Amino acid sequence: MKSDLRYSAQIVYNNYPWPDLAQSSKPNQPLAPVHPAQAAIEIAAQTVLDVRAKFQSGDPSGKQSATLADLYDPLTMPPELIKAHQKLDAAVDKAYEVSGGKKSYKSDAERVAFLFELYQRYTSLLPADKPKAKCRKVQSV
């Protein structure tokens, strides 16, 4: 079995530890259904999807639609898509700041190190699996 990294739309976001965005309870006010930081991420993520869709749908002039490879080519990535991703990154950083992250990171490596630390903190709370007893083969004489 290969151990290559695998990505899919269903699991990539689920692999990242979501920041702890606990609601504070204020007297005489119901809890907001979504934390403002989470709402900002949802809006920014939808903007990325909308911008991509704009470039991926063919236009009436007959121009072909762009593939994801076209859109994410570092040399030709549309400025509008770059800006949408920058806003999404800022919204995500803000959400992690609320749960103990830095206001800004010096590098992607520093950001990833924080995510791994958060992941380790979250998974350390999970119960440990008990090792399964190995079956012993009975040898016939």
Report domain extents, the chain.
34-58+65-103
- Residue 12 has which token pair? 């990539």
pLDDT at site 32: 57
65 within 8 A of 57, measured Cβ to Cβ: yes
Q: Which residues contact 70 (CB under 8 A, 6 or more apart)?
A: 55, 76
Tell me the per-residue pLDDT of 35-68, one tens digit each, with 9 for 90 and over: 888 899 999 999 999 999 999 886 666 567 889 9
pLDDT at site 43: 96
Closest alpha carbon to 41 in 13, 71, 69: 13
Asked whether the whole model's pTM tops 0.75, one would answer: no
